[in-house]
Structure 1
Amino acid sequence: MYDDIVEMAGESPSWLQASGVLFTDAGLLIFAALMAWVFWRARPSPARIAVSLLVPAATAIAYLISEAAKLVIREDRPCRNLVTLVECPAAGDWSFPSNHSTIAAAAAVGLALAWRRLAPWVLPGALLMGFSRVFVGAHYPHDVLAGLVLGSVTAWLVFRYLTGPVTGLARRLTAHAGDAPTQPMPRVRPRGDSKGPSLPPRR
């Protein structure tokens, strides 16, 4: 399957090749921009802000898990000694699972859970990101599939078990901040003015 996709990429029009190369990296920036937008949109509700922050948190956790898996599994890249659309990463930059696919899936599922209306856009975007990693020759299809599963499951678990605690914590912190007593500052009046309170004389 990898050979067929890479061969198709090599025979595709130049504009399609350029689009694949651009999207395989720029797609991550799109997901980052969407995370910032969802955070901005959540204001001024502290509970919604807390939930929006779970998206980058889940993405970071999924990325760390994928990096740990790479160090254990140590699968070499499929692009060694091949001509592909992107330069093959250096030796020691392992292939399984795909970090790009992991990040894209975690971000997409997290964004969809934080704001359901994004689901029809971000979920296909994550699949396209995964396909682009094979299209440019950087990963085997099973690397991408593993990354998509890892990112999706991680994001779902983070939202499943942390949404309640972080929402409750945000509400409690906001309530405590609102209960803090505030005392008005005394008004300073000019000397000789008999109306209103005055500051005590200096000693």
Structure 2
Amino acid sequence: MTLPAHVPAPRALPALDGASLDGRLYTRVTGLAGRSPGWLDVMAAHWSAYGLGLFAVLMLAAWWRARPGSAPRIAMALAAPAVVVLAYAANALIKALVREERPCRTLHTVTLEVCPGPDDWSFPSNHAAIAAAAAAALWLVDRGLGVIAALAALLMALSRVWVGAHYPHDVVLGLAVGAAVGWCLTASARRGAPLVERARASRLRPLVAPR
């Protein structure tokens, strides 16, 4: 549908110029990656591509370990996957509004990862947001698993710069968005404790309590 001539079209936000923020740091990191031993680059590339699977395993372990515990803790454990999805959605919305070009396209550097195509925006990092949201949720549910997840989230953020997919500020804000959304929503999930108590008295008991 075409807007009438007297109605101005909505204006998008101006695209972020990431290279002016920390482009030099980005090229230093990718340059270091290019000079590093092959085994290190292979490990970083595999972690960058597949490392998010670890957070799924940790959330499953947190649910299993939470079952003998209190109803609020179980409610938070069950909510963790949904929390991560919502954190991803929030991060993707920011990404669509800011429209920062990928550094590998702007700076034309040699990177370990194939440069994504146009309109695959860079800021903030979805990988970092997902990892941080999972880490925040796990921290509230199971502190031991939360420590592992927090370290893994930092490694995920570093790997995304190392392989050339993101600027440093992309992963920093991704971590911040994921952690903020993950913490707030997981803490709110405690309110689901009455539902957990009802489930313990139903056929769903195996999901919320040991046999």
- Name the TM-score class by shorter chain: 0.7 to 0.9
Which protein has greater RCO, CA pairs closer than 8 Å, 6+ apart?
A: 2
Q: How many residues align?
A: 176
| Structure 1 unmatched ranges of 5 or more | 179-203
d(CA) in 1 for partners of 2:69 and 2:151?
29
Map of 2:47 onto structure 1: 23
d(CA) in 1 for partners of 2:163 and 2:88?
21
Query: How far apart are 1:55 and its partner, in Å?
Result: 1.5
Q: Give the aligned residue type for 1:20.
A: A
d(CA) in 2 for partners of 1:120 and 1:73?
31
Q: Give the aligned residue type for 1:114.
A: V
Q: Give the RMSD, CA atoms, in angstroms.
A: 1.8
| Residues 128-147 of structure 1 mapped to structure 2, 5 A cutoff | 128-147=155-174
Asked if 2 retains the 8 angstrom alpha-carbon contact of 1:23 and 1:132, the reply is: yes
Asked if 2 retains the 8 angstrom alpha-carbon contact of 1:46 and 1:170, the reply is: no
Query: How far apart are 1:4 and its partner, in Å?
Result: 0.6
Query: How far apart are 1:45 and its partner, in Å?
Result: 6.0
Q: Secondary structure at the match of 1:160?
A: helix
Map of 2:92 onto structure 1: 67
Moved over 6 A (4+): none
Map of 1:118 onto structure 2: 145
Deviation by residue 1:76-135 (Cα, 9 ceiling, x = unmatched):
000113210000111111000000000000011111111011233211111110010000
Query: How far apart are 1:46 and its partner, in Å?
Result: 8.2
Query: How far apart are 1:10 and its partner, in Å?
Result: 0.5
| Structure 2 unmatched ranges of 5 or more | 1-24, 204-211
Q: Establish whether residue 12 from structure 1 lines up as the match of residue 39 from structure 2.
A: no
Q: Which moved more, 1:165-174 or 1:17-26?
A: 165-174
Give the structure with higher Rg (CA): 1
Asked if 1 retains the 8 angstrom alpha-carbon contact of 2:62 and 2:145, the reply is: no
Structure 1 residues 119 and 35: CA distance shift in structure 2, 3 A: closer
Report the TM-score, using the length of structure 2 for normalisation.
Answer: 0.78
Name the % identity. 45
Q: Establish whether residue 171 from structure 1 lines up as the match of residue 197 from structure 2.
A: yes
| Residues 182-201 of structure 1 mapped to structure 2, 5 A cutoff | none
Q: Which moved more, 1:110-119 or 1:58-67?
A: 110-119
| Counterpart selection for 2:128 from 101, 108, 113 | 101
Map of 2:66 onto structure 1: 42
Asked if 1 retains the 8 angstrom alpha-carbon contact of 2:123 and 2:170, the reply is: yes
Map of 2:206 onto structure 1: none
Q: Give the aligned residue type for 1:74.
A: R
d(CA) in 2 for partners of 1:55 and 1:146?
21
